[in-house]
Chain A
Amino acid sequence: MSGFDPDRFSRLDSPLHNWEARTRLISLFILIISIVIAGDIIHALAGLAISILLVLISGLPLSQAVAFMKWPFIFLLPMLLILPITTSVEPYLDFGLLKISQEGLNLGLLFMIRGLAAAFSALIIMGTAPFNVNINSLSSLGMPSSLAQIFLFTYRYVFLLYDELQTMKRSLDSKGFEMRSNVRSAGILATAIAMLLIRSYERSEDVFNAMLSRGYEGRLPSIQRQNICLIDLFKGALICAAAVVIHFI
């Protein structure tokens, strides 16, 4: 039994968790698009406020959500730092040797806020339904079946890979292996990773045999179909309205 569980928040109970997957995906994608095309900081802040409000409604732990934001923040930080000193549009804030463009600062802040708001919305998509439900919904919305299968199998077997990595690490530890910055350590690590790849290849053959033995002919059947109710459409309309309102504040 694996302790690795990225779907742990998908089992919460909230109006966003109870929402039919396809309408939820489409509505939140519209919100994300609306956020990323926001033209100024005020509109982007409105988008950020709506995204945070949705996180609160979803019941996802805010501390975890904020902790997750460090990754998009790190990714966006260079823009916030570089744009103010590379944009050559007046007026400047003059700090002696350092001249900061007001326009560049605004642009950097806009990118940062838009990025964080979009990441919060993406977090809601990932945190309010299991990964497979999202992928199956995307598949029923037109994503190519082969792509959906790649995502689903990757997701299914990443847990086994994680377990095998842990086993291999324990095995290395038990034999007194300590990671050092030398050629020997690199060689041992490379061998271990190569072994994992070989095992993955062998497993993929076994899994394919198991699929064939149960009549697989290229398509994955799905029995997780959920009907769209009026309340789902109402929730969708609310999110779409919020996506429009952002631009009229």
Chain B
Amino acid sequence: MINREDIAIEVDDLSYSYPDGTLALDEVNFSLKRGESMALLGPNGAGKSTLLLHLNGLLRGAGKVRIWNKEVSEENLRWVRGQVGMVFQDPDDQLFMSTLAEDVAFGPANMGLPEEQVRERVEWALQSVGLAGLSGKVPHHLSFGQRKRAAFATVLSMKPSIMVLDEPTSNLDPQSKLEMVCLIREQQRNGAAIVTATHDVNLVALLADRVLLLDKRVMAEGTVPEIMSQRDLMDDLGLEMPIIADLFQSMKEEGLYSGAIPFKRDEAMEAIRAMLRM
């Protein structure tokens, strides 16, 4: 029995077409609970970013979007934007102020927090993303990886109960990707519900528990193993399985392996050890 109070996001029959008539979303339905992390996967042009913009009230399509059981409407947009923090794909879109501190302070200040509290939030958010000491920096003087983390901090400072991330690991080096995954998981541990649009299939198991496959409409939804081990489904959408899962799935198909498909390195190591012991 699901407690309705625990439902962070509920999307009912959401459809949206761009002004030129292009259909972007077609009767999308899903829900996400408090403390859950969901990956949004789909090919280019599948409507992932468009869906995310609806969760923050930036786009308004046909159908319903509910945040903590309140339908998003013109009247409660301020509240919605305080609840749903959105990190955009290009950090240069998100870092528009002259200094990093001003950027991180932008959200809390707009929420009407007192100046002292805004300063505390700025300090805390920059500390959390490992950018303490760079508050006076001009955004264009930061490296791309730093700008990605700074963009995360600009949302973190608002302490949103839901975080919506558009390609947070794109164009990052492997180390920075793992740091970003840790940041996302930390917010989940703190109770935030998280939706992450990504193309990085190898990171999905690390950053999410559930997967929503989108191609204008919901193609499949379930846990990471349920969805990511279906090679045909992934192939049909022009996606690929995570490299570890792909290898073990191939071994399974050839009768070399019979256990559960691993998605993480530790799980794969354990499976290989078990095979060697046999």
CA distance A206 to B155 in the complex (A): 16
Contact (Cβ within 8 A) B86 A1: no
CA distance A214 to B58 in the complex (A): 11
**Among the interface residues B78, B109, B119, which one has the most CB atoms of the partner chain A within 10 A?**
B109
For the A-B complex with A156-B98, A223-B122 known, give 7 more contacts whose Cβ atoms are closer than 8 Å. A130-B98, A132-B97, A160-B92, A203-B92, A210-B96, A215-B110, A221-B109
- When A and B form their complex, which 9 residue pairs have the shortest distance between CB atoms, in order from nearest? A132-B98, A221-B109, A215-B110, A214-B107, A206-B93, A159-B140, A213-B86, A2-B140, A223-B105
- Nearest-CB residue, chain B, relative to A135: B98
* 11 pairs from A and B in contact (CB 8 Å cutoff): A1-B140, A130-B98, A132-B102, A160-B140, A203-B93, A210-B93, A213-B56, A215-B82, A215-B107, A216-B110, A217-B78
Contact-size category for A: 20 to 34
CA distance A4 to B63 in the complex (A): 47
C-beta contact mask, A120-133 vs B, less than 8 Å → 1, else 0?
00000000001110
Check A174 for interface membership: any CB of B closer than 8 A.
no
**Among the interface residues A156, A206, A207, A224, which one has the most CB atoms of the partner chain B within 10 A?**
A156
Contact (Cβ within 8 A) B105 A221: yes
Contact (Cβ within 8 A) A222 B102: yes
Of A2, A217, A224, the residue contacting B110 (CB under 8 A) is: A217
Check A234 for interface membership: any CB of B closer than 8 A.
no
Q: Tell me the minimal C-beta distance from B59 to chain A in angstroms.
A: 9
Check A26 for interface membership: any CB of B closer than 8 A.
no
Check B249 for interface membership: any CB of A closer than 8 A.
no
Say whether chain A's binding surface is mostly helix, strand, loop, or mixed. helix
C-beta contact mask, B79-121 vs A, less than 8 Å → 1, else 0?
0011011101010111011110110011101110001001100
Check A211 for interface membership: any CB of B closer than 8 A.
yes
Contact (Cβ within 8 A) A223 B110: no
Q: Tell me the minimal C-beta distance from B107 to chain A in angstroms.
A: 4
For chain A, residues 177 to 227, give those with C-beta under 8 angstroms from any C-beta of chain B. 203, 206-207, 209-217, 220-224
**Among the interface residues A5, A160, A209, A215, which one has the most CB atoms of the partner chain B within 10 A?**
A215
Check A80 for interface membership: any CB of B closer than 8 A.
no
